[in-house]
Chain A
Amino acid sequence: MAQTPPPASPAPDGAPQGAPPPAVPFERVLTAAMGQPGSHELDHYLRRGGYVGAHKALTSMTPEEVIKVVTDSKLRGRGGAGFPAGIKWSGTRGNPAPRYLVVNADESEPGTYGNRYAMDTDPHMLLEGMIICSFAVGINLAYIYIRGENLHGYETLELAVRQARERGYLGRGLFGTDFNLEIYVHRGAGAYVCGEETALMESLEGKRAQPRTRPPHPFQVGGGLFGRPTVVNNVETLMCVPHIIVRGAEWFAAIGSPNCPGPKVYCVSGNVNRPGIYEAPMGLLLSELIFGDEYAQGVPGGRAVKAVSPGALASPLISGGELEVKLDVDAVRAPPYRTQLGAGGIIVYDDSVCMVELLLRAEQFFAHESCGKCVPCREGTHWMVDVLRRITAGRGREKDLDLLNNVAGNMSGLPFHQRTLCALADFAAGPMMSAIGKFREDFDYHIREQACPQQRQLAHA
């Protein structure tokens, strides 16, 4: 993180008013230190301008001013739902203390891995974002909930917290003010549903991770962690915050899509030549991300893209003919795409992948991860697995497709909380319906020929 923008990109504050601002070249801020040895160390972070944003917020701004800057930046949550961060913070601040902050570092959805890199590379950037958020909302105790499998991330964060505490960036009287903050890192123990914010809080409280009934919502008394008003934010959401404080709301709001701006860490996986994480302006074209030289560089063997999950496994599929979509929260929701950006995990499938086999494996995932609290989700996911297994085993029937559509239809539909307690049911249903809608020929072939069009078994028997 640079303290001041490089000469090539004039500070938006100083930009002439009136005339449209000159196009500012995009600068990576979230992944700038990737690949630099020792970037996770406090001193390395300080050399790059670390904790300047927290210092600025705590010593020269009021909490209300911080919330206003974050609201004006139009930062939207990077964990999946795209909720405006500033609104979440002010809503929580409006409810009585004690309040808590919980960082959602559960990252378990097939196709997402950006938080893992972020925490490995720049754990202090996350801590700094947490300090600023806690100051703004009036929070003195915060937790990072990290999935159990990411032991290395846990160790990195523990080290960072220890260093920050030793050097006075955490604890009592931060930056000479009377503001106190403790941060603890908490390990999960395996279960995708823990990423859902209310399940995550149950898990943190030492219970089985089953989502809660809402209302009360997490930001309200009775709905948050230990029953207190709570902010739950994704790792990447919070890592944007120090940059917003240092460079200003206008800088952030001017990057990428106007309604959902800022830098975004896209994760590309599946059948691509160069899988990896790519930080780009929110709203990057999907085709550019898949084929661009700076990005994933196309599909191995020059095969065609058959399908893409643009928001990891839980997002409705789009076809290889629909790659000219902007990757921002709203653009992917619009017709004809009608999908989700989720946490920005783009999975690419080439034309050797049979969508029936793929869906079977996907629904096995959701059936395995359903917490079992709601009937449509618990039963529906297993139903879909059974029917898909029948089809892939060569015993499919014509009416199975209606059955699948029906089951999926009963699991989903907005608003989700009227049918189920959390969105996992929608996550299972969306890909199913989109697959039948867009790749019907694979299903028809399986049922008609009682064989796989690709002659390739993907899922478990």
Chain B
Amino acid sequence: MPLSQAVKDLVVNEYIPRYPTKRAALVMALWAAQNEQGWLSSETFEEIGELLDLDATDVNAVASFYTMFHRRPIGRQLIEVCDNPPCLVNNAHETMQRLCDRLGLESAAGHGGGTTADGEYTVRFAECLAACDMAPAVQVNYRYYGPVRPDDVERFLANMESFSIETPIPPVPGQSGPPAGAAATPAGMVKEG
């Protein structure tokens, strides 16, 4: 699916003028693209490369360095559970285990994750989210929730908003997920993490 004109305009009119070089707009451009498409395809790399006068392989080399850019479709809701030490000693692995059990995903010896067959959820561990006081801290499509203790998992899945730790702020065009068209993930095809 090609990038929309809106994303291209955003990159050209908003992001490129912010920096002395075109290349510097790359990460912001990749964000805008991923938020629209749900993930980053080779086709998207070509399109972004054209906007910024970069080679598609160059764009790919940069994108692949960063853990938040997806090279494959993922679930509509990306649930990430932090299991760095402050969250770990507050039972993050049990939270993960319960999440996986509840969503019918495999989870062995603390490892968890994958995408549900209906493409609704992708679950994975995250490194520290800078919410260690809310341990175990969780993000869903990069929104902050916590603490989500093992016993909270059922309630959390039923009503995530009651676990939100954010104050409402107007979203920013091009940057705020979840992906607008939330790429319909072909059932069962993805395993990430």
Contacts and interface: CB of A to CB of B under 8 A. Distances in A.
A275 B62 contact: no
Interface stretch (B97-105, B124-132, B149-157): B124-132
Nearest to A275: B133
Interface residues of B, number: 54
Interface string A121-140: 00000000000000000000
Contact of B86 (A108, A190, A347): A347
Contacts of B142: 148-149, 151
A269 B27 contact: no
A358 to B, nearest CB: 6
B109 interface: yes
Contact of A110 (B27, B68, B127, B170): B127
B180 to A, nearest CB: 15
A149 B62 contact: no
Contacts of A361: 83-85, 88
Interface stretch (B2-10, B114-122, B171-179, B184-192): B171-179
Interface in A445-461: 457-461
Given A152-B143, A184-B18, A365-B127, A110 B84 contact: yes
A80 to B, nearest CB: 14
* Interface majority SS (helix, strand, loop, mixed), chain B: loop
Contacts of A111: 85-86, 128, 132
Interface in A253-304: 267-271, 275-277
B83 to A, nearest CB: 7
Interface of A: 37, 40, 107-113, 115-116, 120, 147-152, 154-156, 158-159, 184, 186-192, 203-209, 226, 267-271, 275-277, 309, 313, 345, 347, 349-350, 353, 358, 361-362, 365, 368-369, 457-461
Given A226-B24, A269-B135, A461-B108, 20 more contacts: A37-B167, A111-B128, A113-B133, A116-B130, A147-B130, A149-B129, A151-B142, A155-B172, A155-B175, A158-B175, A159-B170, A186-B18, A188-B66, A189-B66, A206-B62, A208-B61, A271-B89, A276-B133, A349-B85, A358-B88
Interface of B: 18-21, 23-28, 30-31, 52, 61-62, 65-69, 83-86, 88-90, 93, 108-111, 126-133, 135, 139, 142-144, 166-167, 169-172, 175-177
